[in-house]
Amino acid sequence: MDLEKSFKLELLNQLYKPYYNCEACPLGTLGRKHIVFGEGNPDAKLMFIGEGPGKEEDLQGKPFIGRAGQLLNRSLEAIGIQRKDVFITNIVKCRPPSNRTPTPTESQTCKNLLLIKQIQIICPKVICTLGSAAIRGLLGRETLKISQIRGEKILIEEIIVVPTYHPAYILRNPKELKTLIADLAFAYSLCS
């Protein structure tokens, strides 16, 4: 592992340490099994942010490992990206009960405690958000509709944000798979 990568990995591990038993928002006391901080390349140019851990993710402590995660992996492979080269996390790090959408308070609390600092450490060129809750949480704009904003290029300071559909939505609407892959390819093209 090169120096930059191992330094950033150490910074991420230091960041997580005070939060192993986090109860800063209601999701900390609603039956989560694991806090899913995120995984991948700590020096990634491309970072993915989803909504929150699902059942499998909660059980195993890793993001995007269920059916939606497998679809994301296949979509990345389709455009020549390996999952190990990107960083994947969520707006909230604890599973919302019954996979409900995180509340604005939960999203903003977790974003401010962890996500913003993860972004500062990883310092990606491009962030691809997956689904409505992810872009709403990241921008703090609760009325955004993913259908209106997906595929656009939004600048947050130096970082480009490209919102797209959540892979779980694609599982229910397979005809949109091409759109997801096109958005991923667009986000990747902005990394160089």
Binding residues for ligand SF4, rule: CB under 6 A, are 19, 22-25, 27-28, 35, 92-94, 106, 109-110, 113
Closest residue to ligand SF4: CB criterion? 28
CB of 162 to ligand SF4, least distance (A): 24
Scanning 21-152, the segments in alpha helix (DSSP H) are 55-60, 67-78, 104-110, 116-122, 132-139, 146-149
DSSP string for 98-110: GGPPPPHHHHHHH
The answer to whether 51 and 166 have CB atoms below 8 angstroms apart is: yes
C-beta closer to ligand SF4: residue 34 or 125: 34
C-beta closer to ligand SF4: residue 28 or 163: 28
CB of 18 to ligand SF4, least distance (A): 10
CB of 111 to ligand SF4, least distance (A): 9
CB of 94 to ligand SF4, least distance (A): 3
Q: Which amino acid is at 17?
A: K
**3-state secondary structure at position 90:** strand
C-beta closer to ligand SF4: residue 52 or 162: 52
In degrees rounded to 5, what are phi and psi of residue 112?
-70, -35
CB of 61 to ligand SF4, least distance (A): 12
Cα 92 to Cα 10, 53, 78, 82, 109, distances in angstroms: 21, 8, 28, 24, 9
CB of 104 to ligand SF4, least distance (A): 13
C-beta closer to ligand SF4: residue 47 or 92: 92
In degrees rounded to 5, what are phi and psi of residue 159?
-100, 135
C-beta closer to ligand SF4: residue 71 or 94: 94
Tell me the β-bridge partners of 39.
Answer: 88
C-beta closer to ligand SF4: residue 25 or 126: 25
